[in-house]
């Protein structure tokens, strides 16, 4: 990945366009960071062996490649977790991409060898950069990825096979967000500075702690 170039391009995009925050939120000028993780992957390895697990990961990576655009990048982030970077994307349309990935994984027959096929699901977390278009320095791209990872964990603890994303409210105060640690997500949600979008039924009762979800 050329993350430095991607971040610089996103900053230029927002610097050069005109219009209100609502109007800019409809344009393809953002970076969207998506953390994707297969649900209960350890059980795949335990039940079918690590060779089968490797086959599942290869198919998972192929699904991500087909669900995203050629201009996007998917990289293995560790274990069964992948990072998808969607370039020149629209933050308001992010849910369309998240749901496409989720549904394609859910419907895919994963071949684990020896004529066996299993079903898998995934959980996803996302946010974008720049988080605040008019205060691009407030949250770094590294913090945006960390926020996406926290959203992923919230999706896991909310029931899995789901996506969760964090957005700033339209009038979010940059000074309140400046250099805030991701551990403050729950507090900022209560204050109405951040908002959640999720596929979980009814919005879900989300747990924002960083504790490892049971069974991932």
Give the residue numbers marked as catalytic.
80
Token output for 29: 């000028």
**HEC-encoded secondary structure of 13-76:** HHHHCCCCHHHHCCCCCEEEEEEEEECCHHHHHHHHCHHHHHHHHHHHHHHHHHHCCCCCEEEE
Residue 82's region, left for phi above 0, alpha for psi from -120 to 50, else beta, is beta
The SS3 assignment for 91 reads helix
């Amino acid at each position: 990945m050329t993350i430095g170039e991607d971040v610089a391009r996103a900053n230029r995009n927002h610097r050069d366009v005109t219009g209100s925050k609502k109007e800019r939120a409809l344009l393809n000028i953002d970076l969207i960071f998506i953390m994707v993780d297969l649900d209960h992957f350890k059980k795949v390895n335990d039940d079918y062996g690590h060779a089968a697990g490797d086959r599942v990961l290869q198919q998972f990576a192929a699904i991500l490649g087909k669900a995203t655009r050629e201009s996007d990048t998917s990289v293995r982030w560790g274990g069964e977790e992948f990072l998808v970077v969607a370039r020149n994307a629209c933050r308001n349309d992010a849910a369309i991409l998240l749901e496409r990935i989720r549904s394609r994984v859910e419907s895919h027959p994963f071949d684990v060898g020896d004529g066996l096929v299993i079903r898998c699901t995934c959980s996803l977390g996302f946010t974008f950069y720049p988080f605040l278009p008019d205060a691009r320095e407030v949250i770094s791209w590294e913090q945006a990825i960390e926020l996406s990872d926290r959203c992923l964990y919230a999706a896991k603890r909310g029931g899995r096979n789901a996506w969760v994303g964090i957005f700033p409210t339209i009038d979010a105060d940059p000074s309140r967000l400046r250099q805030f640690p991701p551990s403050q997500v729950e507090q900022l949600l209560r204050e109405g500075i951040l908002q959640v979008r999720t596929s979980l039924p009814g919005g879900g009762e989300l747990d924002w702690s960083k504790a490892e979800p049971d069974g991932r």
